[in-house]
């Protein structure tokens, strides 16, 4: 990649490196918590509860993070996110196995809420920095696609890392190890982050975070339902379903199930990230393609709808688990991931293209508030749908949510610049 701004590349590299470190720990923590507490006897709904405050915190954080960045500066919000994640990792080691399930759920929900704040501070800071550092047009699409795609590849490795650390070293040791590594990276970023990102303006008002741009609001609604459609099967449904299929309860099969579930989740996220990074080539974007790319948001959402519907009906018709059925679900979800990645990359470009440079952190924060609201919706529905009708109910619900996303994306009407 070549930038039009000579000083932009070092800052972009520093922002990307710190974001990678954060997302590696975030992916590992999600898998670690899910598998560890499933083993402790948590129901699908209780597992969903563990992540609800995480996602709710994301909604609140993104709504306020744009204002915080505009007022105090992007680097400060990035550092705050990294520091809070280290604290959350260490706090989870204080969980006492003797506590009741109710007390454990409440404690982990609270700590996961802090981790949700941390993640969205880091995400909003990184994405906003790209808008300010990257060249416009096709160059902006390339830079944001690379950041988003590489981030998801790293997060995918985090899923595998979390499952592996739990199987090999146990819950507490895994958390302490991750906190230590992330703390070292935080110190390095504090010492070597280049100058140049905005320092913030004290006069910025909180009311400025609410977007008044019609396209940004419509895109945000599309984002809510797009990410709800992913997380309704991703958070609880598929991991619990695969665990039931792969484990017979013995220690050896449990460890094997951990690795296989972690590997699938990692591969899904890594391939998703790889496709995101290739989105400019897939979309055949040029610097003046904003109107066409906005129209394509509806097409790519519509392309996703049949996949979870077909998978859900296949699982329902099969009745009982079988090798061919598991293989079909895996291949279908990988296909879903590829098309979902193009959708996600296209949205990530459109929000930056629609945003004005003078209020980019507010618009990006508002948009990622919608992103977090979608994850919150999907997380809540994931536990409820699995409890009510198994993984097939999760997948059918995903198709319904995708239909709503396509409807919202159909109303985007940007003017040609």
**Digit-coded pLDDT (tens) for 385-403:** 998 888 999 999 999 999 9
- pLDDT beyond 70 at 72: no
Q: Which of 282, 16, 284 is nearest to 147 (CA)?
A: 16
The whole-chain average pLDDT of the chain stands at 77
Q: What pLDDT is recorded for position 417?
A: 39
Kindly report which listed range (64-73, 92-101, 265-274, 335-344) carries the lowest average pLDDT score: 64-73
When pLDDT is averaged across residues 20-49 and rounded to a whole number, the result is 76
Task: Kindly state the percentage of the chain with pLDDT values over 90.
Answer: 15
- Which residues, in sequence order, are CB contacts of 196 under 8 Å at separation 6+? 7, 11
DSSP summary character for residue 206: G
Number of helices (H), then strands (E), belonging to the chain: the values are 14, 0
Q: What pLDDT is recorded for position 47?
A: 76
The predicted-structure confidence for 87-102, as pLDDT tens digits, reads as follows 888 888 887 777 777 7
How far apart CA 70 and CA 165 sit, in angstroms, is 38
* Highest averaged pLDDT of the listed ranges 168-172, 322-326, 409-413: 322-326
How far apart CA 364 and CA 351 sit, in angstroms, is 7
Q: Which of 43, 80, 140 is nearest to 345 (CA)?
A: 140
The pTM of the whole model exceeds 0.85: no
Angle in degrees, 0-180, between the axes of helices 171-192 and 8-39, rounded to the nearest 10: 170
How far apart CA 289 and CA 286 sit, in angstroms, is 5
Domains of the chain: 8-409 (1.20.1250.20)
How far apart CA 108 and CA 53 sit, in angstroms, is 9
How far apart CA 353 and CA 371 sit, in angstroms, is 17
How far apart CA 84 and CA 75 sit, in angstroms, is 14
Taking the alpha carbons at both ends of the chain, their separation in whole angstroms is 24
Helix ranges restricted to H, 134-170 = 138-169
Q: What pLDDT is recorded for position 228?
A: 94
Confidence label for 218 from pLDDT (cuts 50, 70 and 90): confident
Confidence label for 331 from pLDDT (cuts 50, 70 and 90): very high
Region class of 137: left (phi > 0), else alpha (psi between -120 and 50), else beta: left
Q: Which of 58, 32, 76, 38 is nearest to 113 (CA)?
A: 58
Cα-to-chain-centroid distance, residue 325: 27
Q: What pLDDT is recorded for position 194?
A: 58
More confident residue, 246 or 13: 246
Q: What pLDDT is recorded for position 306?
A: 95
The predicted-structure confidence for 145-198, as pLDDT tens digits, reads as follows 666 666 777 777 887 788 787 778 887 888 888 888 878 877 877 776 656 555
- Which residues, in sequence order, are CB contacts of 302 under 8 Å at separation 6+? 406
Residues in the chain: 417
Helix ranges restricted to H, 278-322 = 279-283, 290-304, 306-318
Map tokens 């506590």 to a residue.
Answer: 99
Q: Which of 41, 31, 96, 59 is nearest to 238 (CA)?
A: 31
How far apart CA 391 and CA 257 sit, in angstroms, is 17
Cβ–Cβ under 8 Å, residues 385 and 189 = no
- pLDDT beyond 90 at 298: no
Considering only CA atoms, give the Rg of the chain. 20
DSSP 213-273: -HHHHHHHHHHHHHHHHHHHHHTTHHHHHHHHHH--SSHHHHHHHHHHHHHHHHHHHHHHH
How far apart CA 198 and CA 195 sit, in angstroms, is 9
How far apart CA 382 and CA 360 sit, in angstroms, is 32
């Amino acid at each position: 990649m070549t930038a039009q701004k000579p000083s932009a590349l070092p800052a972009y590299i520093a922002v990307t490196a710190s974001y990678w470190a954060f997302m590696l720990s975030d992916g590992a923590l999600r898998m670690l918590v899910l598998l560890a507490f499933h083993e402790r006897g948590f129901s699908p709904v209780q597992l969903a509860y563990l992540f609800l405050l995480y996602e709710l915190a994301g909604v609140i954080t993104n709504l306020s993070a744009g204002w915080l960045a505009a007022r105090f500066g992007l680097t400060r919000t990035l550092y705050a996110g990294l520091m809070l994640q280290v604290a959350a990792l260490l706090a989870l080691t204080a969980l006492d196995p003797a506590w009741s399930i109710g007390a454990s759920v409440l404690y982990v929900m609270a700590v996961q809420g802090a981790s949700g704040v941390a993640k969205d501070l880091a995400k909003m800071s990184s994405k906003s920095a790209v808008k300010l550092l990257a060249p416009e047009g096709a160059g902006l699409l390339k830079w944001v696609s690379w950041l988003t795609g590489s981030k998801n590849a790293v997060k995918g490795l985090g899923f595998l890392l979390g499952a592996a650390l739990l199987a090999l070293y146990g819950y507490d040791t895994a958390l302490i190890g991750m906190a230590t590594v992330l703390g070292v990276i935080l110190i390095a970023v504090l010492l070597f982050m280049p100058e140049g990102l905005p320092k913030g303006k004290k006069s910025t008002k909180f009311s400025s975070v609410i977007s008044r741009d019609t396209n940004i609001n419509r895109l945000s609604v599309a984002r809510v339902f797009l990410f709800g459609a992913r997380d309704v099967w991703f958070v609880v449904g598929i991991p619990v379903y695969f665990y039931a299929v792969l484990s017979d309860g013995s220690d050896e099969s449990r460890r094997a199930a951990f690795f296989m579930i972690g590997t699938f989740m990692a591969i899904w996220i890594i391939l998703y990230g790889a496709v995101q990074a290739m989105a400019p080539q897939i979309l055949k974007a040029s610097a003046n393609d904003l109107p066409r790319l906005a129209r394509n948001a509806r097409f790519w959402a519509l392309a996703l709808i049949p996949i979870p519907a077909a998978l859900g009906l296949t699982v329902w018709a099969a009745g009982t688990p079988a090798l061919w059925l598991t293989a079909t679900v895996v291949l279908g979800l990988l296909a879903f991931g590829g098309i979902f990645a193009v959708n996600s990359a296209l949205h990530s470009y459109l929000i930056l293209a629609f945003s004005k440079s003078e209020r980019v952190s507010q618009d990006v924060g508002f948009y990622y508030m919608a992103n977090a609201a979608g994850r919150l919706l999907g997380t809540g529905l994931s536990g409820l749908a699995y409890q009510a009708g198994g993984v097939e109910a999760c997948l059918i619900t995903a198709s319904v949510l995708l239909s709503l996303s396509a409807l919202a994306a159909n109303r985007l009407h940007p003017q040609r610049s």
